[in-house]
Structure 1
Amino acid sequence: MSILFLLASLGVVNGLLIGFYLIIKKKRTVADSYFGLLLLALSIRIGKSVFFYFNREVDQLILQIGLSACIFIGPFFYLYSKALQKHEQDFKRKDGLLLLALLVAIIGIGLRFPYRSFPEIWNGYIIYGIYSVWILFTLLGLYYSGRMLKGVTLSPNKMNGNQQYVAAIALAMLFITCTYQVALFVGFTYIWGALIFSFTFYYLLGRALLTKKSITPKVPVQLLENGNELLAQVNDLMASQKPFINKGLKLDELATQAGMSKHTLSRVLNEVYEYGFSHYIKEYRVNEAKQLITTRPDLSLEGIGYEAGFNSKSAFFEAFKKIANCTPAEYKKFR
C-alpha cells in the first residue's frame, strides 16, 4: 500500500513543480503554457484522488478543489493539442474567454453550493456537468492530436520525436479520462488514473533527460505570411504619424498603432527588416535628425536629437554615428 501511495503521489508532486516551471519560464511557447496548466489541473485532481483513496476522512474542501480542477483538464488538453497542431505563436482571445467562462462558472457554483454543505449536489448534477465538459474537450484534443499523428498512428516506428511525445500524452489523457469516467458510473477505483499519470509523466521526463530536449514537443515556426506587406504597413505609419518621436516608444505601443500583435511586429522587424525593433526606431530617428539638420538651422545638434526622439545627447550621437557612419556635426558641415 505504501509503494502504491508513493508511486501515485510522486507524479502529483513533480507534476505540480514542472507545471509551474512551464508556466513561468521565460522562453515559453503557447503550447508550453497550456501543457503546464494541464499538468497543474491533472495534479490537483489526481492529488485529491490519492488523498481520498488513502484517507476517507479528508476535508471536503479538498474534494471540492479537486473536482473543480476537473473542469479544466479537457479544455487545457484541447488548447494544448490545438496550439501544437496549428503552430500557434500567440494566445487567442476566444480561448482566454473560454477559460474565463469556466473559471467564473466553477467559482460561482462553489460559492453558491460549497461541498461541505451540499455534498449531494456535487456528487450529482455538478460532477456530471464537470465530467461532461472534461470528456467533450478531451475528444476535441484527441482530434487535433490525431491530425498530428495522421499516417503514423498504427506505425509507432515511423513517428518522429515530437509525434512520440504527442502520442504518449494523447494515450495518457485517453486512459486517465476513461478511468475517471468509468469510476463515476460503475464505482471502478480511480487510483489507476493516478498511476497512469505518474508513469506517463516519468516516461516524458525520462525521454527529455536522455535526449536533452524539452518535456514538451517543439512548435515549428511557420514562415511569416505577407511579411513585406506588414513591414510596408509599419513604414507608412512611421512616415505619416512619426510615432518614433515619442522618446519612450515601446514595441507593444507601436504594434497597437500598426494594428498587429506585439509578437507579429517583433517577427516582422526581426525576420523581414532583420535588425530588430531598437535599430528600426533608431534608423527613423536618425533620418528625422538628418532632415532637421537641413531644415532647422535654428536648432542646436542636441536640440535636433531631442526633436527626433532621442532621450539624451549621447544616445543621439551614438546612434547617428552607427547608422550614418559620421557624427551629426560632420553631417551638418557637408550639407
Structure 2
Amino acid sequence: MNQGQQIIFFFSALGVFNGLIISIYLLFFKKSKSAASYFLGLLILAIATRITKAIFSYFYPELPRIYLQLGLSACFLIGPSLYYFTKAALNQNHTTPVNWKRTYWFWIVIIGLIGFVFPYKTNPNAWNNYIVHIIYTQWAAYVFLSGWLLRAILIKFFQPAEKLSSNEKSILSIFIGNLIIFIAYLVVFFGFLRGFYIGGALFFTLILYLNIPLFMNRRKEITIFSDNVDLTRYANKKINTEQALILTDKLQKIISTQELYKNPDLKLNDLAKKINISGHQLSQLLNDNLNKSFAMYINEYRINEACNMIANDNALKLEAIGYEVGFNSKSTFYTAFRKLKNTTPTLYKESVSLNL
C-alpha cells in the first residue's frame, strides 16, 4: 500500500475497532439496558461487520472469500436493527417486545439458511447477482420504514420555529448517519463511482465519532438509552421542560395502552412505578409541569372514555358506564363529570341523542 492507502486503511480500521468496542459495551456491559441501547448495539455491530468486509475486499482481495459472505450477511441485519432502534427510542421501550425478537431472529435464520445452502465460496454468482439484490432491497425497505417513523421529527427539523429536543436530535442523527452509509454503498452497488467503495467505511468512522456522545447516558438527562431513570436527586427541583415532555409521553402511552385509569384502586405510587420514577417525582410532574392533581389527571381519562361510551352505546346505564371507566361510586362519577364537562352525564347523553 502507498501512503495514501495506508491513511485510508488506518481511518477505516479505526472506525471498525471503535464501533466494535461501543457495540460490545452497549450489548454486554452497559448497566442500564433499554431496548433502544440494545438495538443500537446490534446496529453498530452489523455495520462494523459490513465495513470490515469492505476493508478486506478493498485492501486484501486475495483473502478467503468467507469474509464476503459474513459482510453481506451482516447487511441483512442493519435495516432491522435501525428500524427497531428507531421504534424503541421513539416509544421509550424498557424491554424488547416478543414480536420484535421473533422478527429479528427470523431474518437471522433466513440469511443463515441462505449462507448454509448457498455458501459464497461455491456460489459467488448467486450471491453477486441475486442474493445481494435481496439484501439491498430489504435494507432499503427498512431505511424507508425508519424514516417514516421519524416523519414528524423530520418535518419539525425543517421548520425554523420548531426546536428539536436532545433525544430527537440523537435519533435523527443516528438515522441520517445510517442513511449516508446506505447511500454510499448503494451508489457503488449500482455501478457509480466504483473507486468510492471504501467511502462507506470512511463515512462510518466520521459518523461514529460525531455520535459517540449520544451512545452513552448523560447523567443529568433522560436519554433515549435510559432504562430505569432515577429522578430522586431532582426531588427539590422542578423537572425541566424536556424531561417533562418525555415523562408525560411515557405516562400517556402506558395509561392509554394498558387502560390503567379503569382500575378504581389505582394509586399514584403504582403509576409512578410503571414509568420508573418515584411517587414524589410523579406528583411533582403532575402538579408543577401539568398543573393537575393526580385525581384530576386520571379522571380526565375516565370522563373522556365515559363520553365515548355514552355516544356509542345508548343501551348502557350511566351508572354502569361510571363503574366501567374506573369510578367506584355514582356520586364521584357525577361530580367529576360535572367538574370537567360543565354538565351532568344525563344532560350530556341527551345532547348526544339530539345530535344523532
User: If the length of structure 2 is used for normalisation, what is the TM-score?
Assistant: 0.61
Task: Please state if 1:117 is matched with 2:144.
Answer: no
**In structure 1, distance between residues paired with 2:161 and 2:61:** 41
Task: Give the aligned residue type for 2:17.
Answer: V
Task: Please state if 1:80 is matched with 2:85.
Answer: yes
- Per the alignment, in what secondary structure is the counterpart of residue 190 of structure 2? helix
Question: What per-residue deviation string (whole Å, max 9, x for no partner) do you get for residues 22-48 of structure 1?
Answer: 112231111000111000000000111
Which deviates further from its counterpart, 201-210 or 1-10? 201-210
**In structure 2, distance between residues paired with 1:19 and 1:157:** 33
Hey, what does 2:210 align to over in structure 1? 203
How far off is 1:145 after superposition? 2.6
Choose the corresponding residue for 2:152, options 142, 147, 152: 147
Hey, what does 1:193 align to over in structure 2? 200
Hey, what does 2:273 align to over in structure 1? 267
Q: Where do 1:1-335 residues align within 5 Å?
A: 1-24=5-28, 25-153=30-158, 155=160, 158-187=163-192, 188=194, 189-206=196-213, 217-218=224-225, 220-221=246-247, 222-223=250-251, 224-225=254-255, 226-227=259-260, 267-268=273-274
CA contact (8 A) 2:27 2:41 kept: yes
- Per the alignment, in what secondary structure is the counterpart of residue 173 of structure 1? helix
**In structure 1, distance between residues paired with 2:206 and 2:102:** 33
Hey, what does 1:260 align to over in structure 2? none
CA RMSD across the alignment: 3.3
How far off is 1:273 after superposition? 8.6
Identity between Structure 1 and Structure 2 (%): 31
How far off is 1:217 after superposition? 3.6
CA contact (8 A) 1:75 1:137 kept: yes
**In structure 1, distance between residues paired with 2:264 and 2:15:** 47
Task: Give the aligned residue type for 2:150.
Answer: S
**In structure 1, distance between residues paired with 2:277 and 2:262:** 13
**In structure 2, distance between residues paired with 1:152 and 1:173:** 17
How far off is 1:109 after superposition? 0.6
Note closer, same or farther for the CA distance 1:67–1:84 as it changes in structure 2 (3 Å cut): same
**In structure 1, distance between residues paired with 2:95 and 2:25:** 19
Where structure 2 has 5 or more consecutive residues not aligned to the other structure, the ranges are 227-245, 281-356
Task: Give the aligned residue type for 2:76.
Answer: I
Note closer, same or farther for the CA distance 1:83–1:211 as it changes in structure 2 (3 Å cut): closer
Hey, what does 1:300 align to over in structure 2? none
How far off is 1:196 after superposition? 1.0
Note closer, same or farther for the CA distance 1:76–1:84 as it changes in structure 2 (3 Å cut): same
Where structure 1 has 5 or more consecutive residues not aligned to the other structure, the ranges are 234-263, 275-335
Structure having the higher Rg: 1
Note closer, same or farther for the CA distance 1:227–1:10 as it changes in structure 2 (3 Å cut): same
**In structure 1, distance between residues paired with 2:220 and 2:120:** 42
**In structure 2, distance between residues paired with 1:109 and 1:41:** 18
Note closer, same or farther for the CA distance 1:16–1:270 as it changes in structure 2 (3 Å cut): closer
How far off is 1:178 after superposition? 1.0
**In structure 1, distance between residues paired with 2:162 and 2:211:** 17
Task: Count matched residues.
Answer: 245
Note closer, same or farther for the CA distance 1:56–1:35 as it changes in structure 2 (3 Å cut): same
User: If the length of structure 1 is used for normalisation, what is the TM-score?
Assistant: 0.65
Task: Give the aligned residue type for 1:176.
Answer: I
Question: What per-residue deviation string (whole Å, max 9, x for no partner) do you get for residues 265-308 of structure 1?
Answer: 9935976999xxxxxxxxxxxxxxxxxxxxxxxxxxxxxxxxxx
**In structure 2, distance between residues paired with 1:138 and 1:123:** 22
